[in-house]
Amino acid sequence: MLTFFAKRIGWSVFTVLLATVLVFSAIQSLPGDAASQILGQNATPSAVATMRQQLGLDDPPVSRFVSWLGNALQGNFGNSLVSGGSVGAEVGSALINTSLLAGITIVIGVLLSLVLGLVAGLTRDRWPDISISTLALVGMSVPEFVVATVLVLLFSIYIPLFPAVVIAGQNASVAEILPSVWLPAGALICVLAAYIIRMMRTSVIDVMDSEFVRTAILKGNSTPRIVFKHILPSAMLPTLNVIAMNVAWLVGGVVVVESIFNYPGIGTLMIRSVQTRDLPAILLITVMSALTYVVCNLLADFAAFLLNPRLRYPRSAK
Amino acid sequence: MSATTTTAAPAFTAPGSFGRVVRSILKSRTATFGFALVILNILLALLAPVLTSFDPIATDAMNALQESSGEHLLGTDALGRDTLTRTLFGGQYALAISFTATALTVLLGSVIAGIAAYRGGIVDDIITRVLDSVLAVPAILSMLVVVTIFGTGPWVIILAVMVVYTGGVTRIVRATVMDVLPKDYITAAKARGEGMFSILAREVFPNVLDIILVEFAMRASWVVLLISSLSFLGFGASPPTPDWGLMVAENRNLMSVVPLATLSPIVALATLIVGLNLAADGLAKSLGVDRMKEVLG
């Protein structure tokens, strides 16, 4: 088991590294660079050249990547080519805001969808299932920007409960942002929940057909005991992967929602950084997102390991 | 690769199996409904020039911001363009780009998967690792980068979709191809001296066609979502293209004045994706493919 996880972690590190290399090389081929972006369209060629030199854009790409990597490993991700401030601090504050949004989304979304999925699975083809499944299908079929637009229409125009956009800037404190977190979170929950509900429902139905549940029923166990002791743990197992995938998806999903609500998080920063060719910021965002992706996958593997006794022993050779 | 052999082609699909799949889809009410929605969307898009006499792009300031009327069934937007017309033509745009992008993605992903699985060893390792790294970059970031490098236009969006989704397709098709490769008929084909591409095209792909079809149906709904999100953010279709995502973005601020201008593209988008989802579900069920496993890869 240890070697299995050591290997997985090794590959994960490699994946993150390769992802940064890919993004780095892609940004290299962008027409125009930060120097011309900062100076604007009317800059003289010599001013652009000086700027390029100051920013270190003249060095060969490979040596720039290696020096970036060396600094990054020491926790120094460089300065933003646009604002001049430390990228680490900039991304850090955006990350805190996004974590707040993502945290609320994940906690509410996962709990809600596990319960709804369980109910749907237990009441298969009866009205609770049909209504939950229909809602989930709609949630899957409507893009985040549509959910967000409808939520704004309902809860800030018709019933003015929440602000439609975040006015607080990038450096606002958590207390300032909290009131405006609920609408974006609601939009994300709708999309996130849809997939988890569907998966949970399918696996509850699968588990209910299995022999150990039938045995538990025949033994005369009480319904709550059967549901929570027998069905729930086994049904959670395949659902974990979907949860992990969706949490990794959130990193990208927040981009659209954040930009609609002008929420000062990672997504808004990502769009701005690509527009201004701010390489250090883009690279750090890539590292953070890729890390989230691999960590979610590792956690799902690990949780599956804990929940599924069959995986704890080495599998027979294929 | 040797010259094409004249030996009998492998059983492509059992005779009548197309009919069987169609019948099993028709038996399921939800699947039929899904296919009906998709076909309705395609018909409305194709018939757009017949169904309406307005121009989707030409502006008409005299008739801006109108509510529903006999002349403009769904009203007009801020530039006086007929909302119904733009929604119908938006369907043409969405369907053409999404289906082309999905088809090319699934094709490329399947070919890469076939090569990776067939060659195995280091080739397989490299392909798998590189594609996994692409998957680790958030889809929207990859798309933004592609669009910023190559500018806008339908082919750039198609390329961006390919960058984002080829990895996922490859992962799933590769796993299925791995199951097929040890079969006797593959060994026989190798013994006949057939080359890799011949084996993949004539023996392997016909036998994983069900997975590839389901993959196409499933991805199509995601691609429609992704492309419209990109347009909504302002990185996809550029105005005045009648694109659904763009239409929502343009009319969102006027929601209290002309709600129909925002709601029409939303409803169109939702029906198309609900249809695609139900159709994919039905197709998966009648082909005996576990769609949830598909999602997990």
Decide if pLDDT at B292 tops 60. Answer: no
Look at A119 and A69; give whichever has higher pLDDT: A119
Mean pLDDT in residue range A71-88: 74
pLDDT tens digits, A264-301: 888 888 888 887 777 788 888 888 888 888 888 788 77
Residues of A in contact with B132 (CB under 8 A): 15
pLDDT tens digits, B138-189: 888 888 888 888 877 888 889 989 988 898 888 888 888 888 888 888 788 8
pLDDT tens digits, A205-231: 888 888 888 888 888 888 788 888 778
Q: Which of B133, B145, B270 sits opposite A27 (nearest CB)?
A: B145
For chain A, give the mean pLDDT.
Answer: 78
Of all residues in chain A, the one with the smallest CA distance to B276 is: A141
Q: What was the pLDDT predicted at B99?
A: 92
User: What is the DSSP-derived secondary structure letter of residue B204?
Assistant: I
Mutate to test the interface with B, among A29, A129, A145, A156 (most CBs of B within 10 A): A145
For chain B, give the mean pLDDT.
Answer: 79
Look at A56 and A301; give whichever has higher pLDDT: A301
Question: Could you tell me what percent of chain B has a pLDDT over 90?
Answer: 5
Decide if pLDDT at A318 tops 70. Answer: no
Q: What was the pLDDT predicted at B106?
A: 93
Residue B58: pLDDT band (50, 70, 90) is low
**Can you tell me which residue has the tokens 């439609």?**
A164
> Number of residue pairs across A and B with CB atoms under 8 Å?
132
Decide if pLDDT at A56 tops 90. Answer: no
Q: What was the pLDDT predicted at B105?
A: 93
pLDDT tens digits, B67-95: 766 666 667 766 667 777 788 888 888 88
Residue B100: pLDDT band (50, 70, 90) is very high
Decide if pLDDT at A254 tops 90. Answer: no
Residue B2: pLDDT band (50, 70, 90) is very low
Q: Which of B136, B221, B232 sits opposite A15 (nearest CB)?
A: B136
Residues of B in contact with A150 (CB under 8 A): 266
pLDDT tens digits, A121-141: 888 888 888 888 888 888 888
- Distance from C-alpha of A115 to C-alpha of A123, rounded to nearest angstrom: 12
ipTM: 0.73
- Judged by CB atoms closer than 8 Å, whether chains meet at B262 and A293 is answered as no
Q: What was the pLDDT predicted at A207?
A: 84
Residues of B in contact with A18 (CB under 8 A): 129-130, 133
State the pTM of this model.
0.79
- Partner residues linked to A86 by β-bridges: A79
Highest mean pLDDT among A24-38, B242-256, B282-296: B242-256
Could you write out the three-class secondary structure of B214-283? HHHHHHHHHHHHHHHHHHHHCCCCCCCCCCHHHHHHHHHHHCCCCHHHHHHHHHHHHHHHHHHHHHHHHH
Mutate to test the interface with B, among A22, A91, A141, A262 (most CBs of B within 10 A): A141
Cα B88 to chain centroid, rounded: 19
Decide if pLDDT at A1 tops 90. Answer: no
Decide if pLDDT at B294 tops 60. Answer: no
Is A148 within 8 Å of A154 (Cβ atoms)? no
Q: What was the pLDDT predicted at A246?
A: 77
User: What is the DSSP-derived secondary structure letter of residue A154?
Assistant: I
Mean pLDDT in residue range A173-190: 79
Decide if pLDDT at B5 tops 50. Answer: no
- Distance from C-alpha of A299 to C-alpha of A288, rounded to nearest angstrom: 16
Element housing B102 (H / E) = helix B83-119
Q: What was the pLDDT predicted at B210?
A: 83
Mean pLDDT in residue range A50-76: 72
Q: What was the pLDDT predicted at B78?
A: 67
Q: What was the pLDDT predicted at B80?
A: 65
3-state secondary structure of B76: strand
Residues of A in contact with B129 (CB under 8 A): 11, 14-15, 18
